[in-house]
Chains A and B, each alone.
Chain A
């Protein structure tokens, strides 16, 4: 069964606007971590933001914030004030505490920022 679902294969956003990238997940483990990574065309995976299942507040890191809705099992990434350099693939990932070896990744969303 698919653990991480990213329903948007591609997204476009105008420079300086905000964009939300969707991610839903499936787990029965009460303890888990959710991650977002950025992969530019150069190929490296860049860690952006982390949300723990027990965290009371939504994670924020600069222009990145995570809209964590635990009951809905969603962990959407919000990028504010988009920049041209934000154009990349974005992957949502989850690791369950009971399965710490296996980080499951979604299929990714390709974000294109238009000038």
Chain B
């Protein structure tokens, strides 16, 4: 079946502009995650959605970052007034269910490479 898809694959923007990044999770997956990966670095957790529950926004680096998930499916990560330090690959992942034993495997999309000039 189809995997996690993200768009655009690449985004170049000017400092101060707003950007929207889109994620389409695997159909039926209730959990959705956003991560940021700076060049040569590991992944930094940003935000988590689970079903209709309030999202966990604890990883968002500033109030310029926000995300929403409509209808429990597609998610949009918005970065307002972009800064050069926002340049990174933004990865989205989904998982099928939430297990109390921490066992859920996440399936990642190909990422969006954001470059802020």
Residues of B with C-beta under 8 A to A31: 100-102
Q: How many A-B residue pairs have CB under 8 A?
A: 76
Instruction: Tell yes or no: A107 within 8 A of B by CB.
Output: yes
Instruction: Tell yes or no: B67 within 8 A of A by CB.
Output: no
Number of interface residues of A (CB under 8 A): 30
CB pair B105 A35 closer than 8 Å = yes
Partner of B102, one of A32, A37, A45, A108: A32
CB pair A47 B102 closer than 8 Å = no
- B contact patch SS: loop
Instruction: Tell yes or no: B108 within 8 A of A by CB.
Output: yes
Residues of B with C-beta under 8 A to A15: none
Q: Known contacts being A33-B102, A101-B48, A108-B42, is A47 close to B107, with CB within 8 Å?
A: yes
How close is A56's CB to chain B, nearest CB, in angstroms?
14
CB pair B102 A100 closer than 8 Å = yes
Interface string of B89-111 (1 = CB under 8 A from A): 10101000011111111111111
Interface residue ranges, A against B (CB under 8 Å)? 29, 31-33, 35, 37, 42-47, 50, 52-54, 91, 93, 95-97, 100-108
